[in-house]
Amino acid sequence: MASRNQQLFELSQKFIPGGVNSPVRAFKSVGGNPIFFQRGQGAHVWDVDGKSYIDYVGSWGPLILGHAHPEVVKAVQNTAQNGLTFGAPTETELEIAELICELLPSIEQVRLVSSGTEAGMSAIRLARGYTGRSFIIKFEGCYHGHDDALLVKAGSGALTFGNPSSAGVPEETVEHTIVLDYNDLAGLEEAFKKYGNDIAAVIVEPVAGNMNLVAPTEGFLSSLRDLCTQHGSVLVFDEVMTGFRVGLGCAQGLYQIKPDLTTLGKVIGGGMPMAAFGGRRDIMQCLAPIGPVYQAGTLSGNPVAVAAGLATLKQIKEPGFYEQLGEKTQQLINGVTVAAEKNGINFSAQSIGGMFGFYFRKEIPVSFSEVMECDKDSFNKFFHAMLHEGIYFAPSAFEAGFVSSVHGDTEINQTISAAEKIFSTW
């Protein structure tokens, strides 16, 4: 008899394209069928067949406090009792805007939206409207949502104009998008030398998390800042994933780089659909209703989402929060790395704050091409074996992992023990 998971997936494919509402959930990268979850509590999730897992996905990053944190749930319940949405300003919108501006000095004004894609799309439009320029630079392997202008991939060479990486995106839509290699200073300098006066913005994940975890090399972010300043281009940090994940000051605080605009999401919604973009006052003042750049959203600043986000941000402000989170994440990657080394497996790992990356490669990758050198088959084998042991990692070799504040020694040691058991059989 088919499991409940299998039954639901078969039925879902009749009514939902691919049976899922976001592609990576479909397990296409690792093989097999997706898991349908029923509930989560703390560091654990349970599927519809009743099996429990230690969760290192955390809804792809937002759940820095774990599942169903009592303060977040309480805030959502209390707010929902007074109405789910108004389509009008609320006091809590102002409260979270003030808090974001307080925590991130680069943000003088902020606008709330409903998704990271919307934040990235709006930031690019704003940068173009502010500068009066058309060209933008992005980096291969960095994902900024499914906006047409950003759904591009590079061809050969260090400096390549993007080609659409999705059907339905006309070539002319991305003809002003330049795609460079992440951490490639020479390519970056070449692009500015050739197109500097026409570049409206550079958008970058300061720590890449959508080609697994790839950290910036020394001088990469500071060179980005210098070149944008010299040429009057807007530097956009996409901190949808890293925002309040790698530290209270986000990646920009960690690396001491001040972007012109920042996109935020995931953690600031506390598990609810909310994101934001903000930055320098003179740029943000270009937005409607006071400026010529139009941006709007019926559910922007939704009170229930804002309540979840506020409750989360208040918790992570507590002294020592990020020190403990970083120690737990380091404990995890150290243990799994030792287990791999004992058994002669090509493996490396790194962590930044509450994010981590596992690579089936001897050395930690610093670019998209190096990530692609990782042994994908070994990852897939590892993923399914760990899943069998009740450990849930992202179902893709190209996604970062996440530790929450409620992952304790029990969960981390259990994960390391499972890895040791699996690696010993290879």
| Three-state secondary structure readout of the chain | CCCHHHHHHHHHHHHCHHHCCCHHHHCCCCCCCCCCEEEEEECEEEECCCCEEEECCCCCCCCCCCECCHHHHHHHHHHHCCCCCCCCCCHHHHHHHHHHHHHCCCCCEEEEECCHHHHHHHHHHHHHHHHCCCEEEEEECCCCCCCHHHCEECCCCCCEECEECCCCCCHHHHCCEEEEECCCHHHHHHHHHHHHHHEEEEEECCCECCCCCECCCCCHHHHHHHHHHHHCCEEEEEECCCCCCCCCCHHHHHHCCCCCEEEECHHHHCCCCCEEEEECHHHHCCECCCCCECCCCCCCCCHHHHHHHHHHHHHHCCCCHHHHHHHHHHHHHHHHHHHHHHCCCCCEEEEECCEEEEECCCCCCCCHHHHCCCCHHHHHHHHHHHHHCCEECCCCCCCCEECCCCCCHHHHHHHHHHHHHHHCCC
Q: How far apart are CA 392 and CA 328, in angstroms?
A: 17
135-140/177-181 β-pairing: parallel
283 touches 126 (CB < 8 A): yes
Of 238, 260, 322, 359, the catalytic one is: 238
Give the list of residues 6+ apart from residue 118 with CB closer than 8 angstroms, or none: 145, 275, 297
Phi, psi for residue 218 in degrees, rounded to 5: -60, 130
Of 143, 255, 359, 392, the catalytic one is: 143
The residue type of 156 is S
Place of tokens 């990657």: 333
- Catalytic annotation on 238? yes
Q: How far apart are CA 336 and CA 338, in angstroms?
A: 5
- Catalytic annotation on 193? no
- Catalytic annotation on 266? yes
Does the bond joining 17 to the residue before it have cis omega, within 30 degrees of 0? no
Of 181, 266, 328, 359, the catalytic one is: 266
Catalytic residues: 143, 238, 266
